[in-house]
């Protein structure tokens, strides 16, 4: 018995320490633990008083205190358990119910000295030093016990409910308390049944309070920490090894096992694996190591990053170390693939333009004394290949050409696809053999199984590594050299020289002075008459001329090609359209609204202008009949993006404009175009009227067929390029009724045209 008293005393001391530490704790749960720990001390003190006294009255009141305090132990256990298990309690029906039950029960128990309805004090012969009093239960004692049992049921139900709905990682902190409650309550039942007097289960209550303090306030569950470590480390995508202070491996996660094909608890092999990355000298001398390594596993080269970190305890003594190994193999593959895609042409696998120019600049910088050749290649009329055979076949040609160029290049040469069908090679001059290159390129002479005359031209620009020119300029000059031979099927290579530079400067000069030329009236319309079979002038075609202040008179051949290439032709055409409208307005005001003018629309106009809005806007601005401004387009206009252009042309025809097809017959798809395009007038290409002594009869037959076809389609024909009376008579015989050419009139200025055809005669102007 003395041992129980000593145990209770020890529990009181421990509980007092727990109460003090709980009072100082800042955790929210401490507010629930503190009153519970205080209340648990009350029945313990009551039992110690029962054991220490020999006065029946003191014992009677000590038992009374014991009975009442157990009520409030249960109440505060319910309160703590509800909060601990995440059930609502404060100001909830659960709180009000148990507060009312325990208050009423406590008051009824406190009336026992008057009514003796709870217990009666019994004295037994003293055995030893303690336990000389015990109680005899009366009827309300059993009600009191039933209330206590109901309280325990409420507590257990909360814990068991929490166990069902919480992760197994967190069950430890609930299981320990449940087991303690079961043991303590069973112990208390035993004390009641056997009438021990002194309630030995109070030791259990005291220990229960200590356990609640430990798990709720002070100490995180070890099992939870271990399980969370296992889960976290198991889910990490890096391999992790832990070693103790003796360099023995004590743990590695599943990823580490997968990386190096380790079975569970193969700690010796794990140590050997890590030893291939870190040597003992490194790990002894250094607290932290980070490096990248390569490792061959099953014949495959792997790339890892390794991180080594020593672990110290609170006393700064080494407790061990851990190693983190990250597999970068797939990342490196993806990075290499992305870099390849960013620096190489998707179709041919050659370098793309940006990467090629970067590497060219790198070579020039590193080897300033070397001489290099910049080679640029171009397939003549490659657009026709795509149009005739399709883009799939065109791509095969480009791939074949790429492989051929790669095949004749040497190590250190740079090969790229710049764009479309343009390829580039940067090569040391000493490595270049023009015959080998020409022979290789001549092999690109067929498309699939179809023989097709592909002509590949090469432009060559020689440069020193010390040049200040940017790679883009170097290769622009190489491609510029091709322009000198682009119409020559025999000569395949050309070297860049200063004449190309002069040509470039000439082009830049014209380009830079275009806006000023339009503004100053230097770019003017010339008119070439169109006459009927009776020789009466019905209208004229508007042709552009440039009276340049320093270069003098410039025919269109000097600048139209340049502006077609750079897109500035749209500005020239827009200026000619407005010039034509001004002329027509002038003639209309003079009473000559019977005349018309034809203006040209180029392919680039559709990309740089809203053709429909511009032309209809000009006609509205100058108050003209749309039929007086005829629109000429060539077959080449419709080569690309024909659907959008056809829609625009159809809109213009619906607005009242007359559409003329210029140079009909010169293209490869004339008849197909005639089928699809809304056409009002055909202009036969002057090339059909050029003298051909060997094929004159064929020439006449073709012209006859074309005029006859147009007639059957109900489309008038204008023959351009008419230079002789014989041509006029021949064309009249075939039914052609409109003519344009030197036989009738040359292109002249507006003033000369108006004077030649007496535009204002009899008009009073």
- The 10s digit of each residue's pLDDT in 464-509 is 888 888 999 999 888 888 877 776 767 778 888 877 777 777 878 8
Residue 499's pLDDT is what? 73
CA atoms of 142 and 119, how far apart (whole Å): 10
Is the pLDDT reported for residue 664 higher than 80? no
- Cβ atoms 177, 159 nearer than 8 A: yes
CA atoms of 563 and 565, how far apart (whole Å): 5
CA atoms of 189 and 712, how far apart (whole Å): 121
- Cβ atoms 710, 737 nearer than 8 A: no
Mean pLDDT for the stretch of residues 399-427: 88
Is the pLDDT reported for residue 281 higher than 90? no
What tens digit of pLDDT does each residue of 710-725 get? Answer: 888 888 999 888 988 8
Mean pLDDT for the stretch of residues 453-460: 84
Other Cβ atoms closer than 10 A to 384: 14
Per-range mean pLDDT, top range of 39-48, 135-144, 402-411, 608-617: 608-617
Least confident of 99-113, 479-493, 683-697, 734-748: 683-697
Domain 349-496: give its CATH superfamily.
Reverse transcriptase/Diguanylate cyclase domain (3.30.70.270)
Is the pLDDT reported for residue 111 higher than 60? yes
* 693 pLDDT tier (thresholds 50, 70, 90): very low
Both ends of the chain: CA-CA distance in Å?
144
Q: Does the domain formed by 2-224 have CATH 1.20.1260.10? A: no
**Which CATH class for the 236-332 domain?**
alpha beta
Number of residues that make up the chain: 765
* 537 pLDDT tier (thresholds 50, 70, 90): very high
CA atoms of 410 and 10, how far apart (whole Å): 92
Among candidate residues 153, 4, 135, the one with its CA nearest the CA of residue 81: 153
* 326 pLDDT tier (thresholds 50, 70, 90): confident
Mean pLDDT for the stretch of residues 557-565: 85
Q: How far is CA 294 from CA 99, 108, 237, 301, 336, in A?
A: 70, 81, 18, 7, 16
Residue 638's pLDDT is what? 67
Mean pLDDT for the stretch of residues 74-99: 90
Mean pLDDT for the stretch of residues 40-54: 81
Q: Which distant-in-sequence residues (6+ apart) come within 8 Å of 345 by Cβ?
A: 351, 352, 416, 417
CA atoms of 134 and 198, how far apart (whole Å): 8
Domain 508-756: give its CATH superfamily.
EAL domain (3.20.20.450)
Residue 670's pLDDT is what? 55
* 669 pLDDT tier (thresholds 50, 70, 90): very low
Residue 78 backbone phi and psi in degrees, to 5: -60, -45
- Cβ atoms 281, 294 nearer than 8 A: no
Residue 424's pLDDT is what? 92
Is the pLDDT reported for residue 60 higher than 80? yes
* 690 pLDDT tier (thresholds 50, 70, 90): low
CA atoms of 164 and 478, how far apart (whole Å): 80
* 627 pLDDT tier (thresholds 50, 70, 90): very high
Is the pLDDT reported for residue 668 higher than 50? no
CA atoms of 191 and 179, how far apart (whole Å): 18
What tens digit of pLDDT does each residue of 580-606 get? Answer: 999 999 999 999 999 999 999 988 888
Higher-confidence position of 283 and 405? 405
Domain ranges of the chain: 2-224, 236-332, 349-496, 508-756
């Amino acid at each position: 018995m003395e041992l129980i008293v000593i145990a209770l005393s020890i529990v009181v001391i421990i509980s007092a320490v727990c109460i003090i530490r709980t009072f100082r704790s800042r955790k929210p749960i401490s507010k629930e633990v503190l009153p519970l720990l205080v209340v648990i001390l009350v029945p313990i003190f009551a039992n110690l008083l029962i054991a220490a006294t020999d006065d029946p009255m003191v014992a009677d009141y000590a038992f009374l205190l014991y009975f009442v305090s157990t009520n409030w132990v249960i109440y505060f256990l319910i309160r703590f358990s509800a909060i601990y298990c995440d059930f609502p309690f404060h100001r909830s029906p659960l709180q009000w119910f148990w507060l009312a039950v325990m208050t009423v029960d406590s008051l009824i128990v406190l009336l026992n000295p008057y009514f003796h309805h709870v217990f009666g004090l019994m004295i037994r012969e003293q055995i030893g030093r303690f336990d000389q009093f015990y109680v005899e239960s009366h009827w309300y004692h059993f009600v009191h016990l039933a209330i206590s049992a109901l309280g325990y049921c409420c507590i257990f139900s909360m814990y068991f409910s929490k166990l069902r709905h919480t992760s197994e990682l967190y069950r430890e902190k609930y299981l320990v308390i449940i087991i303690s409650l079961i043991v303590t309550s069973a112990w208390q039942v035993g004390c009641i049944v056997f009438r021990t007097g002194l309630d030995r289960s109070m030791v259990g209550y005291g220990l229960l309070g200590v356990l609640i303090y430990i798990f709720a306030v002070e100490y995180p569950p070890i099992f939870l920490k271990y399980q969370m470590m296992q889960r976290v480390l198991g889910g990490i995508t890096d391999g992790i090894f832990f070693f103790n202070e003796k360099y023995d491996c004590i743990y590695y996660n599943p990823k580490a096992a997968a990386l190096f094909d380790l079975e569970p608890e193969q700690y010796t092999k794990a140590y050997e694996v890590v030893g291939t990355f870190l040597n003992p000298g490194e790990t002894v001398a250094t607290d932290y190591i980070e490096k990248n390594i390569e490792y061959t596993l099953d014949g495959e080269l792997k790339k890892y990053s390794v991180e080594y970190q020593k672990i110290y305890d609170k006393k700064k003594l080494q407790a061990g170390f851990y190693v983190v190994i990250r597999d970068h193999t797939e990342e490196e593959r993806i990075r290499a693939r992305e870099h390849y895609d960013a620096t190489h042409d998707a179709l041919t696998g050659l370098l793309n333009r940006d990467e090629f120019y970067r590497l060219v600049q790198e070579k020039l910088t590193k080897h300033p004394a070397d001489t290099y050749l910049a080679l640029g290649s171009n397939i003549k009329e490659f657009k026709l290949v795509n149009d005739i055979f399709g883009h799939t076949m065109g791509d095969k040609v480009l791939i074949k050409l790429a492989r051929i160029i790669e095949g004749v290049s040497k190590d250190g040469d740079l090969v790229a696809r710049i764009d479309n069908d343009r390829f580039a090679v940067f090569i040391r001059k000493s490595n270049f053999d023009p015959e080998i290159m020409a022979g290789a390129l001549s092999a690109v002479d067929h498309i699939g199984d179809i023989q097709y005359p592909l002509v590949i031209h090469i432009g060559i620009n020689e440069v020193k590594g010390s040049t200040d020119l940017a790679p883009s300029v170097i290769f622009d000059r190489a491609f510029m050299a091709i322009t000198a031979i682009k119409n020559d099927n025999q000569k395949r290579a050309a070297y860049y020289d200063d004449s190309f530079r002069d040509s470039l400067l000439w082009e830049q000069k014209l380009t830079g002075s275009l806006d000023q030329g339009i503004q100053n009236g230097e770019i003017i319309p010339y008119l070439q008459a169109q006459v009927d079979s009776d020789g009466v002038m019905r209208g004229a075609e508007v042709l552009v001329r440039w009276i340049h202040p320093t270069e003098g008179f410039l025919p269109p051949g000097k600048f139209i090609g340049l502006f077609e290439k750079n897109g500035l032709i749209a500005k020239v055409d827009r200026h000619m359209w407005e010039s034509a409208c001004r002329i027509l307005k002038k003639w209309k005001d003079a009473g000559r609204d019977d005349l018309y003018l034809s203006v040209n629309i180029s392919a680039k106009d559709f990309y740089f202008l809203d053709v429909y809005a511009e032309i209809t806007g000009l006609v509205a601005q100058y108050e003209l009949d749309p039929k007086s401004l005829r629109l000429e387009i060539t077959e080449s206009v419709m080569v690309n993006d024909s659907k959008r252009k056809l829609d625009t042309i159809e809109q213009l025809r619906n607005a009242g404009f007359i559409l003329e097809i210029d140079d009909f017959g010169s293209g490869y798809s004339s008849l197909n175009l005639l089928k699809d395009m809304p056409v009002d007038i055909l202009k036969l290409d002057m090339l059909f009227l050029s003298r051909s002594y060997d094929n004159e009869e064929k020439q006449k037959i073709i012209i006859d067929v074309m005029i006859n076809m147009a007639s059957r389609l109900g489309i008038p024909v204008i023959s351009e390029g008419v230079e002789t009376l014989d041509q006029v008579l021949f064309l009249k015989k075939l039914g052609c009724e409109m003519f344009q050419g030197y036989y009738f009139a040359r292109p002249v200025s507006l003033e000369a045209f108006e004077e030649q055809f007496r535009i204002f005669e009899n008009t009073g102007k």
